[in-house]
Chains A and B, each alone.
Chain A
Amino acid sequence: MKTNNLYLPLPSEIIEIQNQGTNIKSFLLKLPEEINANNIMPGQFFGVSVFGQGEVPISVSDVFSNGNSLLFCIANVGTVTEKLHSLKVGDTVGIRGPFGNGFPMSSFKGANLILLCGGIGLAPLRAVVSYFLNNIDAFGKLEILYGARSSKDFIYKDELRQWRLKPNTIVKVSIDKPEKEWKGNVGFVTLFLDPNFPDRSEILTGIDREFKQTKLLICGPPLMMDASIKMIQNINFPYENVYLTLENRMKCGMGKCGHCNIGSKYVCIDGPVFTLDELNQLPKEY
């Protein structure tokens, strides 16, 4: 074809596979030469193809520009991901992208960042953490508020331990229901925003009590997002500083197949990152 065919994936070899939790694996894929690592922003996604099965949209977890590789965290939930989980290091998959708008990281400079994540929702936000740690002087504090259904459902456990030790970085975790060996917080992750919660966000109780200099980034299942939005309304956190990244059924990444159409927006083009302001103007179909 004469023009650049954006439906064609580029080959990418699997460099490393790690188990991350029940039915979740992280894949380190080789970045094809045609894609420039500097063009990839946290929050964007790629279409990962297992030929013969199909393609799935997966958000970028991390970009390693010196190794020229991309990290994806993928759960086994369907036919394509099932096949993906059976692949070995050295196998080739196809990737297409990057698609989507990503977090506007440059506009966050000078602010504190709170990352509110649920379950596998930490995957896209990890890229934000990497960006922060690479540009630590440009931001205020970073606080990672991470909740999962049970202690087995946390991903990136090693990285979480390392992040705890980094400057300007706070990590708080919670599980939904009490467990025998668990001595940490118990409760739904949105409680970290609640003024009555004992282990409430340090940024919100301490350095930015008036919510003037903080951006809140949220990623998790729809129920968690609904609960977070309610909490944000209760504490009067400014909507334009709340960023959510939406999941959706996406097949083309280019606003053509129509599956991710919500209102007059396409999650693959105008999103997947939306501010709460923008989301409130869309019909509640996410």
Chain B
Amino acid sequence: MEEQYRLFKNDLNKFLEILRKSYPKIIGPSLDSEEKEIFKEITNVNELKLDRTIPLKPPKEFLFPQSEELFKFSFKERKFDLKDENFFEKQVLFALRPCDLTAIKYTDTFFTSNFIDVYYSAKRENSLIIGIACEYPSNKCFCTSMGVSPVSSKGSDIFLTNGGTFFLVEFLTEKALSMREQFAGLLKEASLEDATLKNRIEKRTRSLLLEEFDLGKVGEGIERIYEKEELFRKYSDTCVMCGACTFDCPTCTCFDVSDKFLDKDSGKRYRTWDSCSFYNFSLHASGYNPRSRKVERLRQRIMHKFNYTVKQFNLWSCVGCGRCIAVCPVGINIKSIAKDLQREASNENK
């Protein structure tokens, strides 16, 4: 299914124009007024900034917004009426790196397992994902330690690799292949040497990473060290339980559901992002809270990322993007936690 072409960078604007005909909204990495990296709607190719580290806010907000209406309700006499009239615009998520692509693969699995979350599915169906090979990691990235290659195209419909004056373009899914004809004029033949482009980029990006470590054992041994609170205490002591890490994590999907009135007889039900770091998250109606201490909540977060989802879906829910480290007010480093756990797990084996 994979077919490779060259798209010269001068033609990128035309490429986006053609895309826009089927997908009116194109979201890609750009800069805000303070020179900070963000994902936003791209109306002009000059707004695209592909030579920076990943934006702090993940692209999950375009598939799973911070605040989302589930349905509207209205009362008449003593009966009520419900309306779910959500409209989902077609959108392109442009230039997502392999870490974010893997995160989307995880959220795809999560939101469709057991029951289908129609809101996420509808947005996802209307989205075209264009990935790009990563060449600009930060010193907080550790994708390779989580089994993600910086040039992995898994999870994207179209994948780009930077070849200097051109992008190497691959059409990977049915959705992408059905559009290929529209770009016919712009796509040039790939040359033989392009086959090694990805390998060269992977090697270079890996050499830029601050560190790589083997997490193989953490998945297995971690349950035995669940009881060792001191390990988690080291980090939960300084954690202020703000939830910023969960809000900026591309795989965190927990939400809370609330109702509100818009006027006397009608209102809506909506969902907002929630975090397992918050005290109220596990608070029962009776007032009992099984995770009342900080160490229990931090442990839940770490175990969920490195163990529980492995058991449920055979997928780690940490992709090594390093956003949690970048945003943490007190500098908690998830790499250190993972390495501590791995060391303890391998000691347990002896």
Contacts and interface: CB of A to CB of B under 8 A. Distances in A.
Interface of A: 1, 3-9, 11, 49, 51-56, 77-78, 81, 90-92, 94, 221-222, 247-249, 251-252, 254-259, 261, 263-264, 269, 283-286
Contact of B254 (A91, A257, A283): A257
A1 B75 CA distance: 21
Nearest to A257: B255
B44 interface: no
Given A3-B116, A248-B284, A258-B274, A263 B255 contact: no
Interface residues of B, number: 54
Contacts of A55: 257, 259, 269
B70 A7 contact: yes
Contacts of A53: 259
A263 B259 contact: no
Contacts of A286: 290
B276 A258 contact: yes
Interface in B264-290: 267, 269, 271, 274, 276, 281-286, 288, 290
B111 interface: yes
B282 A285 contact: yes
B238 to A, nearest CB: 22
A55 B286 CA distance: 16
Contacts of B261: 52
A257 B78 contact: no
Contacts of A92: 78-80
Most buried by A among B79, B271, B312: B312
B71 interface: yes
A11 B290 CA distance: 33
8 contacts: A5-B71, A7-B269, A77-B286, A90-B78, A256-B117, A263-B311, A264-B307, A264-B309
- Chain A contact surface mostly: loop
A8 to B, nearest CB: 6
B6 to A, nearest CB: 39
A17 to B, nearest CB: 14
Interface stretch (B7-15, B182-190, B296-304, B341-349): B296-304
Contact of A1 (B86, B253, B255): B86
B33 interface: no
A21 B257 CA distance: 30
B212 interface: no
B115 A257 contact: no
A53 B257 CA distance: 11
B82 interface: yes
A173 B244 CA distance: 50
Contacts of B51: none
B269 A1 contact: no
B213 interface: no
Contact of B255 (A11, A91, A258, A285): A258
A252 B256 CA distance: 9
B349 to A, nearest CB: 20
A54 B259 CA distance: 5
Contacts of A77: 285-286
B308 interface: yes
A249 B288 contact: no
Given A7-B70, A51-B75, A264-B312, A258 B118 contact: no
B298 to A, nearest CB: 13
Contacts of B111: 256
B257 A283 contact: no
A78 B119 CA distance: 28
